[in-house]
């Protein structure tokens, strides 16, 4: 296993009080509390951000870029995602949000819903032309889900649809276009994603699905939300602003919350699942071939989809409602029929097709106890023996999420049996009993038998 694997979530040690909330909720059992502080096992972390949500002391956070990072580039483009629009009531026009982004320093805005329309078309075609092969086909849109598949369900990799996420596809398009239009070299142009989650950010630094990302970095939605609201307050959209921005259809906007990807792709025998534990359950079902009569599954690691990302500012249910209303308003000015409506959002000349850029997911199984199967068997047997000595109540006081994980850590030499407080207690008890027993056996005379014999012998001679 390589440790070169990147993840964005990290622990602010000073803020961590050693409770095991994160340990308990981590879907890949990637966190342990050791010496009173949480530690992330990097090979297991999928950057879903569940720990960020659960930590009561806000000790879990993630590496992201700040607006300052844009200063390194002479021309900055921001990709505005539907989940960002969802932070504002539908009555706030997109023009105002775009103007606000300009006031934050971006030179140009690309509306990600346009990319959503293109990718939806690719998905629709792929699913329609899919002959044979295992089903259901799995969405590739959420990088946290892709990472979950890599580490926990590598057997499902071939079912993941080989299309880019709208963000990555948009970045490729934007970079090429802007460089040509502004006559700038690639290193001068920064394409930024305002992200609802750490997973998207990680994917920019170490992509699992695109060969070469064209994104410069990601800026968390929450971190700019306050500032954006403030500038939007006085924002008067430039004239013709709308004409300068490529926008997608209402279907492209729908990608931000659950069911949107399926709706945009016009799939009927498809289902949408959100929230990492439900996603986990569904992947298990798929692995057992229990869902092979479904064509397509849209899986999002966050509850309610990207509007529920760990970095979004407002409540996910309100955000979802905002987005739904915005979609409804947009539909009033679109062709009735889905394909025609979606087509109206596809105005990018030479938008990239996934085929040329997409990378096949690499399996990264993490359960293996040892490279050598014979050694792994010994360890597994030992693990079983150790597990039998543990109380089996999964209390987490040892810093591992459950007794089985502690048994595994012990076998791997990363923890001690006495990390279990019940074992520690019984050892202390035994030890104390032994002391009491010993104390009753100490002869009251103060001389031992051996000493006495020695004395006698000396006396005789």
Partner 1 sequence: MEIKCEVPGNDFDRAGEASASIKKALQRLGVPADIVRRVAIGTYEGEMNALIHAGGGVIKAEITSNLTIITVKDKGPGIADVQQAMKEGFSTAPDYVRAMGFGAGMGLPNMMKCSDKFSINTVVNKGTKITMRFEHK
Contact between 288 and partner 1 per CB under 8 A: yes
CA dihedral in degrees (340, 191, 204, 121; nearest 10)? 10
Contact between 367 and partner 1 per CB under 8 A: yes
- Name the minimum Å distance from CB 288 to partner 1: 6
Contact between 376 and partner 1 per CB under 8 A: yes
Contact between 43 and partner 1 per CB under 8 A: no
Whether 309 contacts 315, CB under 8 Å: no
Element (H, E) at 134: none
**Which residues inside 146-205 make contact with ligand SF4, applying CB under 6 A?**
196-197, 199-200
Contact between 365 and partner 1 per CB under 8 A: yes
Which one, 122 or 261, has the nearer CB to ligand SF4?
261
Interface region with ligand SF4, contact rule CB under 6 A, candidates 63-71, 137-145, 235-243, 407-415: 137-145
CA dihedral in degrees (258, 260, 261, 265; nearest 10)? 150
- Name the minimum Å distance from CB 360 to partner 1: 14
Which one, 99 or 274, has the nearer CB to ligand SF4?
274
* Cα distances (Å, whole numbers) of residue 41 to 17, 22, 415, 416, 461: 18, 13, 14, 18, 71
Contact between 184 and partner 1 per CB under 8 A: no
Residue 374 touches which of ligand SF4, partner 1, none (Cβ within 5-8 Å per kind): partner 1
| Residues sharing a CB contact under 8 Å with residue 277, sequence separation 6 or more, in sequence order | 27
| Residues sharing a CB contact under 8 Å with residue 400, sequence separation 6 or more, in sequence order | 23, 29, 32, 406, 409, 415, 419
Residue 365 touches which of partner 1, ligand SF4, none (Cβ within 5-8 Å per kind): partner 1
Which one, 60 or 149, has the nearer CB to partner 1?
149
Tell how strand 37-40 and strand 31-34 pair up.
Answer: antiparallel
Contacting residue, 318, 340, 360, 373, with partner 1 by CB under 8 A:
373
C-alpha 274/C-alpha 297 separation (Å) is 10
Contact between 360 and partner 1 per CB under 8 A: no
Question: Tokens in use for 460?
Answer: 């005789």
Nearest to 48 by CA among 298, 311, 394: 311
Residue 291 touches which of ligand SF4, partner 1, none (Cβ within 5-8 Å per kind): none
Residue 90 touches which of ligand SF4, partner 1, none (Cβ within 5-8 Å per kind): none
Question: Tokens in use for 270?
Answer: 């498809």
Which DSSP string corresponds to 64-103?
-B-GGGGGGSSEEEEEE-HHHHTTS-TTS-HHHHHHHHHH
Binding mask of the shown chain, residues 396 to 425, with x at each position contacting partner 1 by CB under 8 A: ------------x-----------------
What are the phi and psi torsion angles at 79 (to 5°)? -95, 115
C-alpha 195/C-alpha 175 separation (Å) is 18
Residue 376 touches which of partner 1, ligand SF4, none (Cβ within 5-8 Å per kind): partner 1
Whether 155 contacts 286, CB under 8 Å: no
The residues of the shown chain that bind ligand SF4, judged by CB under 6 A, are: 48, 142-144, 196-197, 199-200, 300-302, 305-306, 309
The residues of the shown chain that bind partner 1, judged by CB under 8 A, are: 153-155, 287-289, 363, 365, 367-371, 373-374, 376-377, 379-381, 383, 408
């Amino acid at each position: 296993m390589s440790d070169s694997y990147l993840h964005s979530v990290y622990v602010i040690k000073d803020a961590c009080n050693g409770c095991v909330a994160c340990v308990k909720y981590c879907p890949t059992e990637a966190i342990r509390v050791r010496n009173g502080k949480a530690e992330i096992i990097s090979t297991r972390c999928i950057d879903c951000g569940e720990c960020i949500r659960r930590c009561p002391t806000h000790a879990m956070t993630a590496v992201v870029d700040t607006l300052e990072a844009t200063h390194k580039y002479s021309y900055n483009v921001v990709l505005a995602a539907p989940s960002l629009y969802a932070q504002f009531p539908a009555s706030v026009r997109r023009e105002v949000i775009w103007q606000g982004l300009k006031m934050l320093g971006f030179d140009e805005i690309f509306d990600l819903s346009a990319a959503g329309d293109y990718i939806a078309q690719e998905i629709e075609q792929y699913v329609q032309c899919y002959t044979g092969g295992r089903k259901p086909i799995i969405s590739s849109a959420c990088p946290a889900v892709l990472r979950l598949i890599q580490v926990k369900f590598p057997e499902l990799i071939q079912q993941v649809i080989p299309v880019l996420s709208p963000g990555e596809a948009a970045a490729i398009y934007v970079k090429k276009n802007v460089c040509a239009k502004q006559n700038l070299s690639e290193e001068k142009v920064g394409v930024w994603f305002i992200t609802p989650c750490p997973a998207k950010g990680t994917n920019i630094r170490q992509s699992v699905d695109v060969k070469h990302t064209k994104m410069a970095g990601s800026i968390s939605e929450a971190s700019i939300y306050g500032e954006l609201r403030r500038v939007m307050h006085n924002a008067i959209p430039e004239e013709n602003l709308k004409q300068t921005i490529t926008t997608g259809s209402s279907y492209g906007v729908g990608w931000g919350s659950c069911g949107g990807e399926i709706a945009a792709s016009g799939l009927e025998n498809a289902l949408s699942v959100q929230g990492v534990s439900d996603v986990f359950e569904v992947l298990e079902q798929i692995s057992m071939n229990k869902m092979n009569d479904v064509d397509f599954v849209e899986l999002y690691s966050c509850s309610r989809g990207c509007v529920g990302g760990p970095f979004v500012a407002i409540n996910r249910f309100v955000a979802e409602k905002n987005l739904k209303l915005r979609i409804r308003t947009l539909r009033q000015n679109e062709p009735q029929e889905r394909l025609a409506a979606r087509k109206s959002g596809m105005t990018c000349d030479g938008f990239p097709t996934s085929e040329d850029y997409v990378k096949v997911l690499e399996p990264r199984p993490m359960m293996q106890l040892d490279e050598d199967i014979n050694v792994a068997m010994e360890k597994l047997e030992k693990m079983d023996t150790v597990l039998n000595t543990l109380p089996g109540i999964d209390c987490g006081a040892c810093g591992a999420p459950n007794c089985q994980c502690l048994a595994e850590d012990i076998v791997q030499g990363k923890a001690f049996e006495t990390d279990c407080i019940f074992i520690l207690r019984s050892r202390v008890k035994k030890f104390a009993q032994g002391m009491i027993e010993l104390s009753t056996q100490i002869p009251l005379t103060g001389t031992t038998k051996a000493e006495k014999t020695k004395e006698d012998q000396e006396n005789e001679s």
